[in-house]
Amino acid sequence: AFTLNFITDEQLLRIIKNHGSEKILHATDSPWEKQGRMAKHLSTLPLSEEDCNNIFYKNAKKLLKIG
């Protein structure tokens, strides 16, 4: 989430397009920013529901082998 302060929305969308939403993870290791604000900002971008689900929780479940 911290990275969203340092790249433009266009850069983030290009990263997701080039690498796929299945390789992007919304996470934090420190409370640098208000996580709700960062998550809300990310959810306002023109991404599909599947892309958002991957970024917000599906990729973490795969990484942590949960469910």
pLDDT band of 43, cuts 50, 70, 90: confident
56 CB burial (10 A radius; 0-12, 13-18, 19+): middle
What was the pLDDT predicted at 31? 67
Whether pTM exceeds 0.85: no
CA 36 – CA 27 distance, rounded (Å): 12
By mean pLDDT, which of 6-15, 18-27, 35-44 is the weakest?
A: 35-44
